[in-house]
Copies of this chain bind each other. A is one copy, B any other.
Amino acid sequence: MTAEIFSLDHQIVFYETDQTRQLTAGMLVNLFMLASQEQSNHLDLTAQKVQSMNLGWVVTQHLVTINRLPKLGEKVVIKTQAQNYNRFFCHRYFWLENQTGELLAKMHSVFVLIDQKKRKLTKVLPELVAPYGSVYTNKIEHLSEPKKPNIQPTYPAKTYRVRFMDLDGNHHVNNVHYFDWLIDAMPREFLLTHHLKAVNIRYKHEVYYGQLITSQVSVTDLGQQLISYHQILTQDLENCRAECHWEKMTTLIK
């Protein structure tokens, strides 16, 4: 049995792009999450229904691969499939294609169910995953852990206060907002001269309203390719760790 692939059409609008007129990394993940939410609505397994059971779906890891970020006005197709699950982890795949079926980006994500009151992991309920055609497995894929940044940061660390609009229905910072903290840790000159090609992001501890987070980064230059190693910290607690792969541009974005 194979899980159903759910598709959604979308056209990139200006507030999903940055000054390069390309979709931002955070918005790419928003579009993927939108497809999974639309599938949930379609199956009448809405976020509200899950919340009414005192549960919530939480992302623990995303593996993003980018061939090319779509441009302002471009028409795209977002696809998703709830692949498989074990006692605690659910694996879901996402694809972003253009209208001719060219793969622009993909993502492999791990979700867990949390008890909203205890803020603790709870066992996956088969009735919350079976409708997607997700398959139970004893041999779930293990995704690699992003490496820690060097003690010596490449760029000065930046701090951000969690804002009201960063929170989601789980009353913590939505997984997508971390992308802005990672990306903005890189200087503008870097962002205007490099393409983001891959992100491995691992969420470790929730971040709450009003907290101050620090976004740290160290960069390893491998010639044409560069790797940035990131940490999101609240004081000494590591809330999130990520690894981003970048490619030097041959032509500059205006």
Contacts and interface: CB of A to CB of B under 8 A. Distances in A.
A15 B34 contact: yes
Interface in A133-178: 158-161, 163-165, 167-169, 171, 176
Nearest to A176: B15
Contacts of A164: 18-19, 183-184, 186, 188, 191
Contacts of A209: 188
A193 B140 CA distance: 44
Copies of this protein in the assembly total 2
The secondary-structure label for the interface of chain A is: mixed
A26 B165 contact: yes
Given A34-B13, A188-B209, A209-B188, A18 B165 contact: yes
A15 B168 CA distance: 9
Given A158-B161, A164-B188, A188-B164, A14 B37 contact: yes
Contact of A169 (B21, B73, B167, B171): B21
A12 to B, nearest CB: 11
A19 B158 contact: no
A32 B136 CA distance: 45
A214 interface: no
A209 B192 CA distance: 13
Place the interface of chain A in its size category.
35 or more
Most chain B C-beta atoms within 10 Å of own C-beta, residue among A19, A33, A34, A164 = A164
Contacts of A30: 14-15
A41 interface: yes
A161 B163 contact: no
A9 interface: no
A171 B27 CA distance: 20
13 contacts: A14-B30, A14-B33, A15-B27, A15-B33, A19-B164, A19-B167, A19-B171, A24-B165, A26-B165, A41-B73, A159-B161, A165-B184, A188-B209
Given A13-B34, A41-B73, A163-B180, 12 more contacts: A14-B33, A15-B27, A18-B165, A19-B171, A24-B165, A158-B161, A159-B161, A164-B186, A164-B188, A165-B180, A165-B183, A188-B210
Considering the complex of A and B, which 5 residue pairs feature the smallest CB-CB distances, nearest first? A15-B30, A163-B184, A19-B167, A18-B165, A164-B184
